Structures are given as structure tokens and as C-alpha cells.
Amino acid sequence: MTLRNKDLNIVILAAGKGSRFKSKTPKILIKVKSKTLIEHSISLAKKINPKNIYLILSPKLSFLEKKLNCKFFYQNRPLGTGHAIKLFLKKHNNLNKLLILNADTPFINLNAANKIIEKLNLFDLVLSGFITKKNKSYGLIKRNKENKVTKIIEYKNANKKDKEINLCNSGMMGISKKNYKNIFKIKKNKITKEYYLTDIAKLTYENGLNTKIVMIKNNSLAKGINTISDYKSTKIFFSA
């Protein structure tokens, strides 16, 4: 059995609108191999054996409290992932370090998660990244000449040159307690009016803290389910 990570707390982001998925069923409740996406994410979190597992949800899905064994936190207004973590840390600012998972990216394995946790002992931000030349939606991890991460550019906001970057953000990330203050510096995006958690990469760099990337070699494990097409093309075989 995995030893308990006593100073680690896991937050699963699951309050997004899922507008690109275009289904009457909330995206996190669709099933892959007899389990919903959120159940897969919680299953991974339990294998990590953290101090606590928190699920950030829309109030519309409060009925899941009777079905899922974790702690619940509600984001009443869907103003983005950065907003969700801001609200969460206002209530839980005494937590030592966080591992953040996305409910719609449930295929990342335990090995990758453990590498992020290990690196979080030395770095203030640890990202999960993968290489692809067929990117149509994933955030782009930009680095400088010294190979330091300077920002994550949301694909929809990227220019033609940015889109030549083939290092993409998979979504799972670790954040140290020292870096929590930068979460509160995340500003509302002028176009979407949302707060992007990915802006923490730029703030980490600008405030002299260190970022590490954990590479995920299997692209299928790194990708999430954003659309019906993604769901239909999913051919993932989960390990026990």
C-alpha cells in the first residue's frame, strides 16, 4: 500500500461548463470502461493516498455528495479554473502543497502523478507536459533560451508563431505553499472574462520562483476529453 502523503492535498477541478462537449449529460458523468470520468480521477487520487481529496463542483451536481467519497467545495459562478482555486485557497490557505487534477483528463497514470509530487519538494510549480504536432486545443508551454518556463499560452489566444510550439500542457500540476500568493494575482482574461489557472506559470517565473516540467511520453494518457469526438475516439486501457 502507498504510504500516506501527509503534507499533500489533492484538488480535482470539475466545475467547468463543458460547453464544447455539447451533451445533456454533464461531461464529468460520461462513462469510460464502466466508470464516469470523475470516478476515474478520484480513483487515481486515492492511489496517491493524500491527506485529503477535494472535488470542486458546480452546485448543480451537489447530488454527487451521496455517491462519491471525498470532500466537496462549490464554485457558484463558473469563472474559470483560476477563480476556482482562488476561492478554494481562501478557505484552505493552511494546506502545505497541492496536486491539481482535471476531471476531464482522467487518464494520467500514477507514475506521472508521483513524479510531480516528488519534484514538488524542490520546485514551486510542477507542470505535466507532452509533445504533439497535432495540437488543436491544448495550452502551449513557452520557455526562454535558458529553458525556463515563462508562461502557458491558451491555444485559443495563441498567435501563428506561438502555435509552432509543440510542448503542451496536460493540466495536472503541483503547487507549493510558497506559490499560493501568486494564485491570488491571477487576473481576469479580457476576452473570456475568466481566470485561467495556467497564468500561474507566468506569475511563478516573474516572481523568481522555479518551475519544473514532468514529461508524459504517452500522448493518449496526457490528453483530456473536451468534445464528443474526443470521447468517441478514446481507446484507453486502464491498469489495475
- For the chain, give the percent of residues with pLDDT over 70: 85
Q: What kind of architecture, by CATH, is found in domain 5-232?
A: Alpha-Beta Complex (3.90)
Domain coordinates of the chain in residue numbers? Answer: 5-232
pLDDT tens digits for 24-47? Answer: 667 788 887 788 889 989 999 999
* Cell numbers for 239: 491498469
Residues 182-209: what's their mean pLDDT? 96
pLDDT at 109 over 90: no
pLDDT at 238 over 60: no
Torsion of CA 129, 133, 138, 144, to 10 degrees: 60
* Cell numbers for 176: 507549493
pLDDT value at position 223?
A: 66
Of the ranges 7-11, 94-98, 228-232, which one carries the lowest mean pLDDT score? Answer: 228-232
* Cell numbers for 237: 486501457
Residues 69-75: what's their mean pLDDT? 95
pLDDT value at position 237?
A: 39
Q: What is the mean pLDDT of the chain?
A: 87
Residues 63-86: what's their mean pLDDT? 94
Cβ contact 125:186 at 8 Å: no
Positive/negative CA dihedral, 199, 163, 234, 227: positive
Cβ contact 89:184 at 8 Å: yes
Q: Residue 123 region, left (φ>0) first, then alpha (ψ -120 to 50), else beta?
A: beta
> How many residues appear in the chain?
240
> Could you tell me which residues are beta bridge partners of residue 102?
13
User: Distance between CA 141 and CA 11 in Å, rounded?
Assistant: 22
pLDDT tens digits for 119-169? Answer: 999 999 999 999 988 888 889 999 999 999 999 999 988 999 999 999 999
In three-state secondary structure terms, 170 is strand
- Residue type at 236? I
CA distances 11 to 15, 76, 99, Å, are 12, 17, 6
Residues 99-124: what's their mean pLDDT? 91
In three-state secondary structure terms, 125 is strand
pLDDT at 224 over 80: no
Higher pLDDT, 234 or 211: 211
**Helix or strand holding residue 224 (H, E):** none
pLDDT value at position 104?
A: 82
pLDDT at 106 over 80: no
pLDDT tens digits for 12-24? Answer: 999 865 444 445 6
- pLDDT band at residue 2 under the 50/70/90 scheme: low
Cβ contact 151:201 at 8 Å: yes
- DSSP letter string, 59-77: GGGGGGGGT--SEEEE-SS
At residue 132's C-alpha, the angle toward residues 127 and 137, to 5°, is 75
- Give the 3-state secondary structure percentages of the chain, helix then strand then coil, rounded to 5: 30, 25, 40
pLDDT value at position 108?
A: 82
User: Distance between CA 7 and CA 97 in Å, rounded?
Assistant: 7
